[in-house]
């Protein structure tokens, strides 16, 4: 009952933005559109959980999202519910659970002036391809990525200024059905995220405060400054450089950390594209974390490798997708295969800068993406890791000595 009352209250706060209150902006008709998508994927992890008694995983994930969008004049209101349940095939002793029914989007948007907008509520926020900003909850496995935020975007100095005030709790307060004690992130998060992007330049500034209500992780304040620039090279080439410098404040003292990505990207006349470059995330100290990605803890570089990182967790450290103490040269090529079928091949040589640049291993990837009639899309993905000396158990971590694999097929239907 409390959840229903809370939903009604939130609807009452934002619904006027989609209703008659905007009559002063003109006699535009109310336009209501349904929202629906269904994603089915099967993932097989062969040996990836090397730190567990049963190293293999095989599950089917079914995510359903539905709701509506109502627009009138300068205002829009979006409501989207979501559920993702998993059917475990391996291990076979996991009971089936319908999981939770959650509010995945609940926002009001006001568009005004010349390209400015203000959005309030639960919403997805993605910068570029998610190096610093994408994932709101790293612990629920892409079921949802939303932030609870007030977001303001406006043209500024021949570019776009993007400012968000974010408040994400470790446990969702708007669960409609299911277990509302499920952890979505490692801590309660409060932050300010600002970005200006204009032409080849972008500058991001993020302040984030993390307080774990369960006292598993220490309180942490991070301040991240990240300039980014894309340099044109000839007619079809681009050089991308992004460097993030982070100040960290916690009980053990102040600390500095860095991360970055550098890539040369080229597009050939036959639509073949290739990337050559690399990325890095600085390592933790004795009592301090490594670079703590503000909201970029998702499988940006690999679906397989984020699971192996769980085996590196120690008391006081985050686990899933903790991109830290990793540096890697990376190359990949994307190419049309036939019709609406595209391919991707990639290789990443992973290293651990601390203590002495040990090899984490060679990661290879192969993917096919396809589009089908009736609003269907999908992909096939295979990743393989040939582990290096960093994973041999000599550094106190669970050993990973055999080659491991990640396989996934996915079909998505989206109402358009």
Listing DSSP states for 175-209 in one string gives EEES-TT-BSSSSEEEEEEEEEEETTEEEEEEEEE
Position of tokens 């009001």? Answer: 108
pLDDT digit string, tens, across residues 195-241: 999 999 999 999 999 999 999 899 999 999 999 999 999 989 999 99
- Rounded CA separation 133/211 (Å): 19
Residue 5 has pLDDT above 70, yes or no: no
Checking if the pLDDT of 156 tops 50, the result is yes
Task: Please say whether the beta carbons of 381 and 364 come within 8 A.
Answer: no
Confidence of residue 27 (pLDDT cuts 50, 70, 90): low
Residues contacting 266, CB < 8 A, separation 6+: 233, 236, 237, 238, 273, 274
Predicted pLDDT at 270? 82
Q: Give me the pLDDT at residue 141, please.
A: 87
Give the mean model confidence (pLDDT) for residues 140-147: 93
Residue 54 and residue 90 in contact, taking contact as beta carbons nearer than 8 Å: yes
**Mean of pLDDT values over 271-295:** 92
Please give the biggest Cα pair distance in the chain.
71
- Least Cα distance to 85 among 41, 145, 37, 148 occurs for 41
Nearest C-alpha neighbor of 182 from the set 83, 109, 112? 83
Q: What is the mean pLDDT of residues 384-407?
A: 93
In whole angstroms, give the CA distance from residue 248 to residue 244.
Answer: 13
Mean of all residue pLDDT scores within the chain = 91
Please answer whether residues 332 and 263 qualify as being in contact, where contact means their C-beta atoms are separated by less than 8 angstroms. Answer: no
pLDDT at 48 over 90: yes
Q: How far is CA 385 from the centre of its chain?
A: 22
* Separation CA 326–CA 218 (nearest Å): 22
Q: If DSSP codes are grouped into helix, strand and coil, which group holds residue 25? A: helix
Find where tokens 């997708």 sit. 321
pLDDT at 8: 39
| CA angle 395–398–399, rounded 5-degree value | 85
Two tokens, residue 310: 């769980």
H or E stretch at 218: none
Separation between Cα atoms, residue 230 and residue 240, nearest integer Å: 4
pLDDT in the model for residue 11: 43
Structure confidence at residue 22 (pLDDT): 40
Mean pLDDT of 352-379: 96
Q: Where are the domains of the chain?
A: 2-21+29-414
Bridge partners, 384 (sequence order): 364, 405
Pairing of strands 101-112, 116-123: antiparallel
Q: Which residue has tokens 């290293």?
A: 351
pLDDT, tens only, 67-108: 999 999 999 999 999 999 999 999 999 999 999 999 999 999
Q: What is the mean pLDDT of residues 340-363?
A: 96
Of 104, 58, 56, 67, the C-alpha closest to 84 is 104
Q: Is the pLDDT score of 343 beyond 80?
A: yes
Q: Which range is least confidently modeled, 162-166, 240-244, 388-392?
A: 388-392
CA distance 231 to 240: 6
Quote the CA–CA distance of 137 and 185 in Å, as a whole number.
5
- Cβ neighbour number for residue 382 with a 10 Å cutoff: 17
Pairing of strands 31-46, 57-72: antiparallel
Q: What is the CATH number of domain 2-21+29-414?
A: 2.40.160.100
Q: How far is CA 257 from CA 8, 36, 130, 134, 291, in A?
A: 43, 41, 19, 20, 5
């Amino acid at each position: 009952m409390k959840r229903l009352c809370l939903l009604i209250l939130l609807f009452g706060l934002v619904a006027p933005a989609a209703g008659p209150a905007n009559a002063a902006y003109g006699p535009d008709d109310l336009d209501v559109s349904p929202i629906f998508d269904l994603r089915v994927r099967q993932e097989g992890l062969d040996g990836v959980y090397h730190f567990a008694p049963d190293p293999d995983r095989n599950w089917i994930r079914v995510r359903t999202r539905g709701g509506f969008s109502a627009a009138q004049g300068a205002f829009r209101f979006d409501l989207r519910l979501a559920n993702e349940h998993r059917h475990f095939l391996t291990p076979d002793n996991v009971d089936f659970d319908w999981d939770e029914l959650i509010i995945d989007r609940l926002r009001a948007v006001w568009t005004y002036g010349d390209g400015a907008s203000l959005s309030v509520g639960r919403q997805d926020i993605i910068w570029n391809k998610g190096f610093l900003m994408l994932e709101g909850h790293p612990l629920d496995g892409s079921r949802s990525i939303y932030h609870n935020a007030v977001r303001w975007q406006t043209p500024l100095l021949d570019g776009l200024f993007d400012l968000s005030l974010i408040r994400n709790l470790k446990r969702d307060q708007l669960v409609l059905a299911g277990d509302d004690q499920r952890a979505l992130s490692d801590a309660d998060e409060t932050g300010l995220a600002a970005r200006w992007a204009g032409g080849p330049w972008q500058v991001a500034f993020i302040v984030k405060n993390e307080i774990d209500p369960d006292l598993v992780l220490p309180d942490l304040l991070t301040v991240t400054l990240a300039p980014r620039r894309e340099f044109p090279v000839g007619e079809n080439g681009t050089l991308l450089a992004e460097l993030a410098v982070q100040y960290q404040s916690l009980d053990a003292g102040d600390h500095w950390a860095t991360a970055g990505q550098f890539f040369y990207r080229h597009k050939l006349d036959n639509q073949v594209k290739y990337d050559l470059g690399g990325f890095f995330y600085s390592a933790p100290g004795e009592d301090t974390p490594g670079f703590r990605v503000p909201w970029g803890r998702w499988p940006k570089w690999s679906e397989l490798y984020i699971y192996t990182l769980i085996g590196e967790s120690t008391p006081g450290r985050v686990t899933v997708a903790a991109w830290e103490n990793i540096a890697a040269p990376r190359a990949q090529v994307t190419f049309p295969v036939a019709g609406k079928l595209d391919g991707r091949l990639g290789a990443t040589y992973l290293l651990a800068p601390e203590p002495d640049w040990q090899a984490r291993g060679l990661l290879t990837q192969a993917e096919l993406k396809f589009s089908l009639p009736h609003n269907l899309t999908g992909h096939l993905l295979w990743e393989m890791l040939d582990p290096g000396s960093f994973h041999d158990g000599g550094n106190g971590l669970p050993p990973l000595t055999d080659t491991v694999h990640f396989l996934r097929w996915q079909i998505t239907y989206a109402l358009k």
